[in-house]
Every structure is written in structure tokens, then in C-alpha cells.
Amino acid sequence: MVELTSTTPGLYPLPDDAKERLADLKGHQKSDLVTGDEGADVVAAYDDARETIVARQAEAGLDRLVEGQLRWDDMLAHPLAVNDAVETRGIVRYYDNNNFYREPVVTGELSPTGDLAADLAALVEAAPEDAALQAVVPGPYSLAELATDEHYGTGLLDAVADLLAGEIEQFPGVETLFLLEPSLATAPPADPEAASAAIDRVARATDADTVAFPYFGALTEETYVHLLDADLEAVGFDLVTEQETSLYNVNEYGCTDEAALGLVDGQNTQVESPELLRERVDWFRENTPGADFDRLYLTSNTGLFYLPVNRFGEKLDALAAAARPEVTA
């Protein structure tokens, strides 16, 4: 029997009171938190905000709790933006929408900062003692695609994979690792074997169950086939943006023993009911008859930072309820 596990790909909106507190702290930069120069008031604001969103996930009853990435002003580019070997320059549009990040320009040798591990250590402190925790990390291919390279040349992807592996090796124990890989869908790799090898390098840095989660579309056949070669427990599917190609890939080429289903629209304020989400789960299973899944992660199709805080919370509630056995389609 398939196990349904409710979770999210992180990237949460800041709680309203945290927005107000941080707006009052003139001239601060979220990414300065890694330097230790931000001051106790900024640290306290983010600590309180983290506690709020961790408590909200626990209240909803999600099976995996995430840190929320509230500090990630540069979104998926964050691990590069806080690195000493990277210069942040002009503002760049984020995946053809109305969100932006500072262009990370790699100018020297990348080495782990411990920034992501520190956030996860704070999650451990904020979460209920018996909670199952999930780390959220940009995948190496997407992170390399978001960057500009002035140092490595053809070796950037490998360097980014090594950087992420080094960051992950510092993590406290977590149950699951979500590697967010939207660029696999939006800019299919010219060398999908190299992209898969980079993801494999990162996945092998942890004992956690690792999920490669593309979004903003479906993967090309070649990209999907090579992704299955990586050491992954699960691959993800954005079933809000693209259903038929996702089904085709599973039915034609198979799948991992687990899968992550992007069922909730992370960019639309309309809240899906738990019953509708279970209908979508059943539809996916009925239309992939050759697949025998041990676990399906029920999640949003993108990060949730696009949403108002109240709608964000309601979508957490729907995801958690949809994974409970008493919900029927």
C-alpha cells in the first residue's frame, strides 16, 4: 500500500509581523546574516518568524517540517549569494515572473559556508521533538544556471555540486532532502548526463531520502531518463503546470520507488480542498498503472512565497489533510 506523505518545497512567505519588524531595521540585507554583522535585532526577527512558520506547519499536521527559507532574498541563488567567492551584482528576473534576485557572479573557489546547516540547526530547535524534518536545497543544475561564472569555465556545474555536497555534509539529521531543480524543466541541459551526475553527487552527501523536484513544467525525455540514473529515492512532477508529459515519462521510462506530486498551485490564491487533492493523487496512480510506488509526497508545485500568509496556511492545511487516510476522493 502506498504511503502518502504531506510536505512542501519550502520557500515560504514572511509572516506579516516579521515583514513589519524587518522593514523598520533600516538598510539591513537578509544575506548579511551569514556575516555576523546584522545585529541581534535582525537575528531575533528571523528566529521568531521561523518559530511561527514551524508552528504553523505542525498545527496543520504536515508529515515533514521545513525551515521555510525566510532569509532567502535571492531565492534559489541564496547559497551562492552568501558565499565569499561570489559577487552579487544587478537584479535578474526569476524564472520569467515578477520576482527577482541579485545576479551571483562566481569569481573564485567556492567552499562551504555552513549557512544552510545553521538554518537547519535552528529548525531542529524550533520543531516539536518528535517531528520529521526536511531540508530544502537548490539543485546543482539550477544553481549553476542561475549563476554567472568568471572563474571555473566548463567546471562550474561540478564546483556547484561539490559546494552543495559540502554544505549538506554539515547538516543535522533530517528525514528528507528536497533538491529544487526548476531549471531542468525551463532550460533542459545540453548534457543531461552531466546534470544527473551533479545531482547524484549531491544526493550521495546525505543519508536522508532525497527528492529531485523540478517545476515550472515537465522534463524532456532525455533529461528524465538521465535523472533516473541519480541516487534518488524520488523524483518530482509539477502536475499543476504539466500533466500529460509527466504521465508519459513515467509510463514510458518507469520511475523511482517514490515520487513527489506537485498538486497544490503555489502561485494561485485559490485553495484546493483535501478531497480534490486526493482525486488528483488517484488520477495520477490510475494513469500510471505500471508504477508501484512505496511513497507519494503530496506537495505544492512550487515554493509558496508567492502567496499571502493566510492562503499559504490554508494550503498547508489542505495538503496535510489530503495525506490522512480518512480523506476519500
| CATH code, domain with 140 | 3.20.20.210
Vertex 101, ends 88 and 44: CA angle to 5°?
Answer: 85
Domain that holds residue 189: 3-322
CB distance 236 to 215 below 8 Å: yes
Rounded Cα gap, residues 104 and 78, in angstroms = 9
Residue 157 CB-density burial (10 A; 0-12 exposed, 13-18 middle, 19+ buried): buried
Residue 175 CB-density burial (10 A; 0-12 exposed, 13-18 middle, 19+ buried): middle
Confidence (pLDDT) at 27: 55
Rounded Cα gap, residues 11 and 119, in angstroms = 13
Query: Per residue in 32-69, is it b (16+ CB within 10 Å) or e — as a string?
Result: bbbeeebeeebeebbeebbbbbbebbbebebbbbbbbb
300 in any annotated domain: yes
327 in any annotated domain: no
First to last CA, the chain: 17
- Cα within 13 Å of Cα(227), Cβ side: 34
253 in any annotated domain: yes
Confidence (pLDDT) at 33: 43
**Which residues does 159 contact at the CB level (< 8 Å), separation at least 6?**
106, 109, 110, 152
Where in the chain does DSSP place strands (E)?
3-6, 86-93, 100-106, 134-138, 148-149, 176-180, 209-213, 234-238, 258-264, 295-300
User: How many domains does the chain divide into?
Assistant: 1
13 in any annotated domain: yes
- Residue 69 backbone class (left: φ over 0; alpha: ψ -120 to 50; beta: rest): left
329 in any annotated domain: no
301 in any annotated domain: yes
Reading the chain (329 residues) residue by residue, the pLDDT tens digits are 899 999 999 999 999 888 888 887 745 444 444 444 567 888 889 999 999 999 999 999 999 999 999 999 999 999 999 999 999 999 999 998 889 999 999 999 999 999 999 999 999 999 999 999 999 999 999 999 999 999 998 899 999 999 999 999 999 999 999 999 999 999 999 999 999 999 999 999 999 999 999 999 999 999 999 999 999 999 999 999 999 999 999 999 999 999 999 999 999 999 999 999 999 999 999 999 999 999 999 999 999 999 999 999 999 999 999 999 887 54
- Which helix (H) or strand (E) segment holds residue 116: the answer is helix 115-126
